[in-house]
Every structure is written in C-alpha cells, then in structure tokens.
Amino acid sequence: MHAATLPPPGAPAAARASGKPPVAPEVSGDKLGALINLAGRQRMLSQRIVLQALLSARGQQGAGSTAREALALFTVSHAGLVHGSPQLPGAHFAAIREAYFGALQGDARIREFIALTERTLAAIEDGLRGAEALQQELVASSSPMLDLLNRLTQIYEAEAARHAVVQHQRQQALMADIQTIAKQARIVAFNAQVSAARAGAVGREFAVVADTLTRITGEIESLVSAAVRGTQR
C-alpha cells in the first residue's frame, strides 16, 4: 500500500498546475476548529511514521504496514489542509498560504518528508544496502518536521482567534443596528399613538396597532440587551 499522491485528484486544475490552491471564502469557526485538530494530528502522525519505520527496520512484525498506513493518512490530510476537500476549505487565508508556499516552504518540506519516508520504507522492505542511511536521514528530519507542524498549527490557532474576534465585533454591530431600528420603531409607534388619540373614535383601531408595535419593539430591545450582556461576559 502506497501513500496518496499530492495534490489529490479532486483538487482544482489551477491547484494541480501551480501547486497553489485558489483563495477560498471565509469559513466558519467550526471549520477552523477542524483544521486545528487536523493540523495537530499531523504532528502525532509524523512521529508515529518515523517510529514505526525504525521498528520495521529492526524486524518488528507489522511495523512497516503501520508506518505506511500512518504515511497514507498523513499524506491525505496534508492534501486536504493545502488544497481542500469536500469537508475542508484548504489554505484559505493569507498567513497559512504564506507558511505553505512562502519563505517557510511548508508544503515543499512536507512533500520532501513524505518522499523520504516512501524511499526509506521501500529500502527497508527490499533489504537495500542504503536503507540504514535513509533511516538516519529520516530520523534527522523528524525534529525539524515536528517544529514545522507545530508552527502550522499555531498559525491555524491564531486565525481561529482572529476569526472569533471578528465574529464578535460583527455580532455586536448587528445588535447595535437592531437596537437603533427598534428605537426608531418605538418613536414611530409613539407618534402613531398620539395621532390615534387625536383622531378619537376613528383612531381606536389604529391605536391598537400602535400599542402592539410599541410592545414588539420593547421586546426586541429587551432581547438585544440580553444578548449584548451575554457577549460581554
């Protein structure tokens, strides 16, 4: 069993041609949480891959298969993080695109780690003379890879925090708009009540409507005030 290739077949043609995914729209907090969890799992998988490869070289039964399974999952997850999937938006914000394709070269380095692991496992399985050198190279790459994956996870976490702040600000702005509209409606309702009172018997039915509007706007203001207090806790 071999690891999946990158990018996945479902990636857009532009992504396959350039190695870079298209810019995706802003995603929900839940999606960002899923990206953080997946990025965090990549750290664990990278270390599991190296450990199982070494155990396989020492003849532990099943270690090679375990290493390949972990590598396949690591590869598919990386493709989802970078190029997206039906469940994931891919590298959809500037900081993570810079981390994958800019100075940090995260995508290229992870691809190199995947390729190195493939060569190492193949050499171990075939009993090639260069297997030991490849093992040493794989072990040497383990800590730098973990540092890279930690950095990527931190970038996802920072984006989630930024997203939460933006959503909070938007929510407060929306509630402020609702409060303003409710106050304006209350003024209209008050003026309608005055006009209905002046109209005497003719305005009684209109007065009922004005009273109802006053009650509704009061309820809206109460609900918005409660929501504002909730967001300030």
CATH number for 31: 1.20.120
124 plus 95 within the same structural domain: yes
Residue-number span of the structural domain to which 174 is assigned:
169-231
Does residue 91 lie within any of the structural domains?
A: yes
Q: Do residues 140 and 197 both lie within one domain?
A: no
**Which residue, 164, 189, 212, sits at the end of a domain?**
164
Residue type at position 65: S
pLDDT band at 191 (very low <50, low <70, confident <90, very high): confident
The answer to whether residue 66 sits within a structural domain is yes
Residue identified by tokens 């409507």 is: 209
What's the per-residue H, E or C state across 20-89? CCCCCCCCCHHHHHHHHHHHHHHHHHHHHHHHHHHHHHCCCCCHHHHHHHHHHHHHHHHHHHHHCCCCCC
pLDDT digits (tens, 9 = 90+) for 126-138: 888 888 999 999 9
pLDDT at 194: 76
Of 12-21, 109-118, 137-146, the least confident: 12-21
Give the domain-ending residue among 114, 133, 164. 164
Looking at residue 40, its pLDDT comes to 94
Q: Do 180 and 146 have their domain in common? A: no
For residues 184 and 160, membership in a common domain is answered with: no
Q: Which of 164, 189, 208 is the last residue in one of the domains?
A: 164
What is the Cα–Cα distance from 194 to 64, expressed in whole angstroms? 85
User: How high is the pLDDT of residue 18?
Assistant: 47
Give the confidence band of 202 by pLDDT, cuts at 50, 70, 90. Answer: low
Is 198 contained in some domain? yes
In 10 A of CB 71, how many CB atoms? 26
Query: What pLDDT, in 10s, does the model give residues 107-121?
Result: 999 999 999 999 999
